[in-house]
């Protein structure tokens, strides 16, 4: 192979990087385990952050964190603009959430994940100046059928027709928040059922794009970092996603505009993460519909992870057993 060909291969995230990143999400999940159900979400988050940062430092890439975690709740964080990796290999944008669902972890509830998303450098939208975005996610059948600017009832009816289901069979995931009281009422008034999520809307969005999932649609206002991360997964799954930024006040709106964001634009998955070379990895912290959580099996700790690559259109599940003695 020529030097030029080798350099070309080194410029983009590849399958080897995907498998290396799994080590970081596995480590974060394992380190969070002692804090499950302890009611201390920041302690769980710090343990996961420290483990993820340590493992990312060994990975062959030059990762620039575009979407960090922790800014909303002043938790410990891998901060926006931080470089991770050993500096060799592909230059990448990275979104991290050492625990998507810190409250779930603290309470011992399901669906907490450790998550990393990666794309080519310069392809990931920096939406960090606006903390929240409104979103709607489905499988590929939503393209050309759903419009986030239409009433949710219209979208539900149109999507049900597109996938050949009765409206009453549709299940719509939405975060259980006071801000969604009207949305939840409208979903039910349309005749669909809800699946209320306590936290962790990345898993909700991914499940909406998976054909084997019982969730047909994921809607509502969630974190912008989680929205960008979800977009990387949706591109690998071939799903459909639309979002709109949801500033909390005029000051945040102006801050977003100053950062180059369009408050009136409908952003689709390709706008949030451009190109066709995204990698999404997630490891379960607690059990959930996407992956199983960390479990003790004699002298080992078992983790389950999912790896999604848009370039190859593959979904891989990785089950690993780790000697618990190595994690003391």
Please indicate if the annotation marks 169 as binding a ligand: no
Q: Which residues contact 123 (CB under 8 A, 6 or more apart)?
A: 93, 273, 274, 275, 277
Please indicate if the annotation marks 178 as binding a ligand: yes
CATH 3.30.540.10: which residues of the chain?
15-121+276-324
Please indicate if the annotation marks 26 as binding a ligand: no
Q: Are 123 and 273 in contact (CB under 8 A)?
A: yes
State the alpha helices, DSSP H only, in 114-265: 152-163, 181-189, 201-209, 224-237, 250-258
Please indicate if the annotation marks 177 as binding a ligand: yes
Q: Are 162 and 170 in contact (CB under 8 A)?
A: no
- Residues 205-232: tens digit of each pLDDT: 999 999 889 999 999 999 998 999 999 9
Other CB atoms within a 10 A radius of the CB of residue 53 amount to 19
**How many Å apart are CA 258 and CA 266, to the nearest integer?**
18
Average pLDDT over residues 315-320: 94
**How many Å apart are CA 112 and CA 199, to the nearest integer?**
8
Mean of the per-residue pLDDT values of the chain: 91
Specify the pLDDT at position 11.
59
Please indicate if the annotation marks 220 as binding a ligand: no
* pLDDT-derived band at 197, boundaries 50, 70, 90: very high
Specify the pLDDT at position 301.
97
Please indicate if the annotation marks 254 as binding a ligand: no
Specify the pLDDT at position 4.
39
Please indicate if the annotation marks 179 as binding a ligand: yes
Residues in the chain: 328
Q: Are 52 and 96 in contact (CB under 8 A)?
A: yes
Q: Which residues contact 148 (CB under 8 A, 6 or more apart)?
A: 134, 135, 136, 155, 242, 243, 244, 266
Is 298 in a helix, a strand, or coil?
coil
What does the block give as tokens for 109?
């509830």
Please indicate if the annotation marks 89 as binding a ligand: no
Specify the pLDDT at position 75.
43
**How many Å apart are CA 247 and CA 195, to the nearest integer?**
25
Specify the pLDDT at position 13.
65
**How many Å apart are CA 36 and CA 267, to the nearest integer?**
35
More confident residue, 199 or 281: 281
CATH 3.40.190.90: which residues of the chain?
130-270
At the top level of CATH, the class of 15-121+276-324 is alpha beta
Q: Are 284 and 304 in contact (CB under 8 A)?
A: yes
Please indicate if the annotation marks 260 as binding a ligand: no
What single-letter DSSP state applies at residue 12? S
Please indicate if the annotation marks 186 as binding a ligand: no
Topology of the domain comprising 130-270: D-Maltodextrin-Binding Protein; domain 2 (3.40.190)
Question: Which element (helix H / strand E) includes 98?
Answer: strand 91-100
Please indicate if the annotation marks 214 as binding a ligand: no
**How many Å apart are CA 210 and CA 60, to the nearest integer?**
31
What does the block give as tokens for 134?
């409104």
Please indicate if the annotation marks 151 as binding a ligand: no
Other CB atoms within a 10 A radius of the CB of residue 299 amount to 10
Please indicate if the annotation marks 73 as binding a ligand: no
CA distances from 298 to 25, 33, 89, 303, 321 (A): 22, 16, 38, 14, 10
Specify the pLDDT at position 12.
63
Question: Is 3's pLDDT higher than 60?
Answer: no
Average pLDDT over residues 39-58: 92
- Residues 84-136: tens digit of each pLDDT: 999 888 999 999 999 999 999 999 999 999 999 999 999 999 998 999 999 99
Average pLDDT over residues 32-48: 94
Predicted TM-score of the model (pTM): 0.89
The DSSP result for 27-95, as a single string, is: HHHHHHGGGTTSS-HHHHHHHHHHHHHHHHTTSSSEEEEEE-S-TTTT-----TT-EES-S-S-EEEEE
């Amino acid at each position: 192979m020529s030097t030029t060909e080798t350099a070309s291969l080194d410029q983009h995230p590849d399958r080897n990087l995907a498998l290396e990143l799994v080590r970081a999400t596995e480590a974060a999940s394992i380190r969070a385990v002692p804090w499950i159900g302890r009611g201390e979400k920041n302690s769980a988050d710090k343990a996961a952050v420290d483990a993820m940062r340590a493992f990312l430092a060994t990975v062959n890439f030059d990762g620039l964190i575009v979407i960090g975690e922790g800014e909303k709740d002043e938790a410990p964080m891998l901060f926006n603009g931080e470089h991770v990796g050993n500096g060799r290999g592909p230059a990448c944008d990275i979104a991290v959430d050492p625990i998507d669902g810190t409250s779930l972890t603290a309470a011992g509830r399901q669906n907490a994940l450790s998550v990393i998303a990666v794309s080519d450098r310069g392809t990931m939208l920096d939406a960090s100046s606006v903390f929240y975005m409104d979103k709607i996610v489905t499988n590929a059948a939503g393209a050309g059928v759903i419009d986030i600017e239409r009433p949710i009832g219209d979208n539900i009816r149109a999507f049900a027709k597109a996938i050949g289901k009765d409206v009453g069979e549709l299940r719509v995931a939405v975060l259980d928040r006071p801000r969604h009281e009207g949305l939840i009422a409208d979903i039910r008034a349309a005749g669909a059922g809800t699946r209320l999520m306590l936290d962790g809307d990345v898993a909700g969005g991914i499940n909406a794009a998976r054909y084997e999932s019982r969730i047909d649609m994921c809607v509502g206002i969630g974190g912008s970092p989680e929205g960008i991360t979800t977009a990387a997964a949706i591109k690998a799954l071939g799903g459909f996603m639309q979002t709109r930024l949801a500033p909390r006040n005029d000051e945040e709106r102006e801050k977003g505009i100053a950062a180059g964001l369009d408050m009136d634009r409908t952003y689709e998955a390709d706008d949030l993460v451009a190109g066709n070379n995204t990698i999404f990895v997630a490891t379960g912290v607690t059990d959930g519909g996407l992956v199983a959580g960390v479990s003790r099996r004699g002298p080992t700790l078992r983790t389950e992870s999912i790896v999604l690559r848009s370039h190859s259109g593959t979904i891989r599940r990785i089950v690993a057993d780790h000697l618990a003695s190595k994690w003391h």
